Structure 1
Amino acid sequence: MRRDDLEHAIRAAAEVIHEDRVIVLGSQSILGSYTEEQLPASIVTSDAVDIAPFSDDEAGSLADSIDAALGEWSPFHKEFGFYIQAAERETAVLPADWDYRLVGVRSERTRNSTGLCLDPYDLCAAKLIAGRPTDHAFVVALIESSLIVPSELVARIRLIDPAEPRRDAALSWAMSVGR
């Protein structure tokens, strides 16, 4: 995925739900902070972008609208080669105050829409909480590219609620990579 694809996804999702802001939660939110030229090739291979409405009802009606119009196998996906996976804000386990560190993406391509992308460290902390092999590979690629510093990642993981059962494993992993 390229930055212009991300901008297209932001605009399309915002148009579908008739809102001016959406939150980009998944791995492609890294494109809010870095261009595809700055990132390792393995980071930008996804054909999906995870987007949550800035606010939604309890039933997730706006997220459902995004999925129906722009999701996997939709006409949008077939035409543009990528799709939008609708999410809810609560989908990711994130460090405290993550919403104050969101990175805004707004351009001519997004028109009057803003995509609020996760800060790279918040994104990596969430990836380590999820703990899938692909998530670990994502974080390693960013560390090896010197875009993420392990000590700062450890500090960010420490901002995750200590009651989160996967927090200690994520911390342990991040500390071992930093050695």
Structure 2
Amino acid sequence: MCATDEDACRLREVSPIAGFLTDAQRLAVIRWEREQLHGFFMDGVAETTAVLPAGRRDRLVRVSGPATALAGTSVENVGWCLSPEDLCVARLCANRDKDRVFVGALLDAGPVDPETVQDAKTAARSRRAAE
């Protein structure tokens, strides 16, 4: 994955060593910069990247607001994210340590219903096995 020319040019203005960085290193710096600026960074992924429950498109959460605007503009971007429950299912199906910690934190904080997550996880795994 390569940084865009615009991002690379902007990075060169900020750092004199940027011209010596690989594309992957430039991208890491750009991600860090955007996270510092907006408080978060999202990677877009294909639907086939994760095990997702049926009907997830009907439960997508719209994300927009001042933090989504490009620097120096007031034009807000719109992103569509998985519902907290669908995100938990995807993370539990991946079943890495960091995913279990993430889901545990969401369950402890209370924004997701454990039964809904368990039911959706079971359905997603069954659907994936049938494919």
> Scaled by the length of structure 1, what TM-score is found?
0.47
Deviation of 1:72 after TM superposition, in Å, equals: 5.3
Structure 1 pair 72/116, CA: closer, same or farther in 2 (3 Å)?
farther
Query: For residue 50 of structure 2, what is the amino acid of its counterpart?
Result: A
Give SS of 1:76's match.
Answer: helix
Structure holding more helix per residue: 2
Aligned-partner Cα distance in 2 for 1:93–1:105 = 22
Give SS of 2:128's match.
Answer: coil
Aligned-partner Cα distance in 2 for 1:125–1:143 = 12
Aligned-partner Cα distance in 1 for 2:98–2:126 = 24
Structure holding more strand per residue: 1
Aligned residue in 1 for 2:30:
76
Aligned equivalent of 2:45, options 68, 84, 87:
87
The structure showing larger relative contact order (alpha-carbon pairs under 8 Å, at least 6 residues apart) is 1
The Cα RMSD (Å) is 2.7
Query: For residue 114 of structure 1, what is the amino acid of its counterpart?
Result: V
Structure 1 pair 106/162, CA: closer, same or farther in 2 (3 Å)?
same
Aligned-partner Cα distance in 2 for 1:120–1:107 = 19
Structure 1 pair 85/116, CA: closer, same or farther in 2 (3 Å)?
closer
Structure 1 pair 105/157, CA: closer, same or farther in 2 (3 Å)?
same
Question: CA offsets, 1:67-116, max 9 Å, x none?
Answer: 53378532523534566544222211100010110000122343352100
What residue ranges of structure 2 are gaps of 5+ in the alignment? Answer: 8-22, 69-74
1:144 correspondence with 2:98:
no
Decide whether the 8 Å contact of 1:72 with 1:84 is kept in 2.
no
Query: For residue 79 of structure 1, what is the amino acid of its counterpart?
Result: E
1:98 correspondence with 2:56:
yes
Aligned residue in 2 for 1:42:
none
Structure 1 pair 84/100, CA: closer, same or farther in 2 (3 Å)?
closer
Alignment of 1:22-41 (within 5 A): none
Deviation of 1:148 after TM superposition, in Å, equals: 2.1
What residue ranges of structure 1 are gaps of 5+ in the alignment? Answer: 1-63, 166-179
Query: For residue 68 of structure 1, what is the amino acid of its counterpart?
Result: A
The number of residues matched between the two structures is 100
Give SS of 1:100's match.
Answer: helix
